[in-house]
Amino acid sequence: MTEYVRSSPFFFRLIGAAMAVAAVGLFCLALLFPAPLQEPANLGIVPNPVKSAWFLLWIQELVSYSASMIYPVMVGAFVFLFLPWLPVSTSATRARWFPRDQRLVSWVTLVLVLFIVVLTLVASYFRGENWSFAPPF
């Protein structure tokens, strides 16, 4: 046990300082850049295309290809929910990036995150009127 460092108070002080710096930085950014809100909803004038919030755009992009594409999203969420208890997951002895015994889980997670980022960018910048592909410029 001599190679371990107690998490209290050393680690918690670091986390508290990082949280304070992040909160002050976010507050300053909020003062400099206003929120990209639209005007209040008007049923007489509906924007085309109507887009979801940025964190749901990737699901809207998937559903635009087929309505049944929501099922892989639900299965993926279910798998990630129970990932710690799946048989392919071994117990970690120490925290490391991409450990050898959990490489499959790490790569699947990385690929899915990149897939979601690409779908979000496509839905944000490459969708035009009637949800057709359009150049971003």
Q: What's the pTM value of the predicted model, to 2 decimals?
A: 0.65
For the chain, what is the total number of helices (H) and then of strands (E)? 4, 0
Q: What is the pLDDT along the chain (137 residues), one digit of tens a residue?
A: 567 667 777 788 889 999 999 999 999 999 998 877 778 888 888 888 888 888 899 999 999 999 999 999 999 888 888 877 766 656 666 777 887 877 877 888 899 899 999 999 999 899 988 888 888 77
Look up tokens 């924007």; give the residue: 47
Residue 73: Cβ-neighbour burial (10 angstroms; 0-12, 13-18, 19+):
middle
Length reported for the chain: 137
135 vs 43, 77, 117, 120, 123, CA distance in Å?
Answer: 28, 32, 18, 15, 12
